[in-house]
A and B are shown apart, each in its own frame.
Chain A
């Protein structure tokens, strides 16, 4: 997975591209730590270019949710497509994390 992130004022814009799998664990954790360290108030993860996510990827989103609660920032996901969207809905993640379309 390719991660692009930039900080705009107090908000992080994160673009996730390609596939989100177990091997992305390290870099994703680093990003979450950075968001908290930068004292961001919110972070939007743009998923429109993410083509697939596996169960470890869903696990990482849970970790992101926990980190956002601890770090005091608001997490939201934007525009998941196809397989990713179906999986998020099947797992009821749309009830846990706000999804912007």
Chain B
């Protein structure tokens, strides 16, 4: 068939998108006449970067040398045919995703399925219709461009999130912070922090508010992900600005609440548990802004009990007041503080743990250390993927 005969008199209309016109296209056919025909159609369609290969083998090395954005190949060729070319392209890591359009005769119905199962992206009917071919080329180039854009965006986001995750981890107490508190006070602390979506809405911290005191807080912002994580950063800095450690606990809670009530939009809030352990007074004082009931054990013997203390979550109502409770915390006492993911896994009412049954699990700890207390609780939910962020802090007051 001669080129002059198949070229229609009208223009095909150039590709509008200059990005698309720059696409590199490889045309593979053992017939030089057909290669030229297809190339001319493509040029008429506005494409400028067109390359040709006369066999499957030549196409493979051209693909490696040129990294084309799209390949149009004949099905039947001496040596490596179109199907084999397709399989090899798909097997290579570099060309696994390049669109491959295979020319087949319309009559050849049975082969069509085989063409797709060998990795072809689409078919072009022979004899070639210029408009159909340009239409298919354009669709697949657009799709490829979109996928590349999304992939790039996704990897950029993943890098960003990873960076943010590390920043967030850096505001949590690290091993050195914990070790220095353990060195200064007769106490053991073991913690776990697991963000469900890379970034989390949980935050906890440890401080030394007085000569004989340590303070521990655990906050949990609504939701998880980026917005919740940004709130944890804000919380971390205002805790200091509001002089949380310097105020009596009830007052400190109110001032945090007022600040968040003024800044958080409706529907967003934080729960918080705050504790102060006094080693001279042998006491633990705590307050709760809707935090899940902490588990306390008074002295070395006896059972862990959930301590329920109701309180408004932070941020929903200005001027809310917060109750505090104080318990004896003699040597040998222990406590477990946790975010609600612990009692909402897999999901209420089928949760593994409830405040009522946690005590039983805690009594099975291998030994009476903070680490063993934490680990025996974690073991029970090890097989579950968490839907929310989990923070777990086990504390034991050492004897002597």
Chain B residues, Cβ within 8 Å of A59: 222-223, 266-269
C-alpha gap A90/B312 in the complex (Å): 8
CB contact list, B365-400 vs A, under 8 A: 388
Which residue of chain A has its CB nearest to the CB of B308? Answer: A90
Q: With A22-B223, A54-B344, A55-B220 known to touch, is A92 a contact of B267 (CB < 8 Å)?
A: no
Summarize B's interface: helix, strand, loop or mixed.
loop
Partner pick for A83 among B290, B312, B348, CB 8 A cutoff: B348
| Interface size of A in residues (CB-CB distance below 8 Å) | 21
Partner pick for A62 among B267, B311, B320, B348, CB 8 A cutoff: B267
C-alpha gap A19/B348 in the complex (Å): 9
Inter-chain contact B347/A92, CB cutoff 8 Å: no
Partner pick for B310 among A19, A55, A63, A89, CB 8 A cutoff: A89
Chain A residues, Cβ within 8 Å of B344: 52, 54
Chain B residues, Cβ within 8 Å of A82: 348-349
CB distance from B321 to the nearest CB of A (A): 11
Partner pick for B223 among A56, A62, A66, A95, CB 8 A cutoff: A56
Chain A residues, Cβ within 8 Å of B311: 90-92
Q: With A56-B222, A56-B223, A62-B316 known to touch, is A90 a contact of B310 (CB < 8 Å)?
A: yes
CB contact list, B220-242 vs A, under 8 A: 220, 222-223
C-alpha gap A95/B269 in the complex (Å): 17
A31 at the interface (CB under 8 A from B): no
A60 at the interface (CB under 8 A from B): yes
Chain A residues, Cβ within 8 Å of B266: 59, 62-63, 66
List the count of A-B residue pairs having beta carbons below 8 Å apart.
Answer: 63
B76 at the interface (CB under 8 A from A): no
C-alpha gap A59/B317 in the complex (Å): 12
Interface mask (A82-101 → B, CB under 8 Å = 1, otherwise 0): 11000001111001100000
Chain A residues, Cβ within 8 Å of B271: 55, 91
C-alpha gap A85/B124 in the complex (Å): 64
B119 at the interface (CB under 8 A from A): no
By size class, the interface of chain B is 20 to 34
C-alpha gap A63/B315 in the complex (Å): 13
Chain A residues, Cβ within 8 Å of B293: 90
CB distance from A19 to the nearest CB of B (A): 7
Which residue of chain B has its CB nearest to the CB of A89? Answer: B310
Inter-chain contact B222/A55, CB cutoff 8 Å: yes
A58 at the interface (CB under 8 A from B): yes
Which residue of chain B has its CB nearest to the CB of A84? Answer: B348
A51 at the interface (CB under 8 A from B): yes
Which residue of chain A has its CB nearest to the CB of B269? Answer: A59
CB distance from B300 to the nearest CB of A (A): 29
C-alpha gap A95/B312 in the complex (Å): 9
CB distance from A31 to the nearest CB of B (A): 15
Which residue of chain A has its CB nearest to the CB of B320? Answer: A92
Chain B residues, Cβ within 8 Å of A56: 222-223
Inter-chain contact B348/A51, CB cutoff 8 Å: yes
CB distance from B191 to the nearest CB of A (A): 21
Q: With A59-B268, A60-B267, A63-B267 known to touch, is A51 a contact of B310 (CB < 8 Å)?
A: no
B99 at the interface (CB under 8 A from A): no
A-side residues, CB < 8 A to B, are 19, 22, 51-52, 54-56, 58-60, 62-63, 66, 82-83, 89-92, 95-96
Q: 26 A-B contacts, Cβ less than 8 Å apart?
A: A22-B223, A52-B348, A54-B340, A54-B344, A58-B269, A59-B267, A59-B268, A59-B269, A60-B267, A62-B269, A62-B316, A66-B266, A82-B348, A83-B348, A90-B292, A90-B310, A90-B311, A91-B271, A91-B312, A91-B313, A92-B290, A92-B312, A92-B320, A95-B312, A96-B316, A96-B317
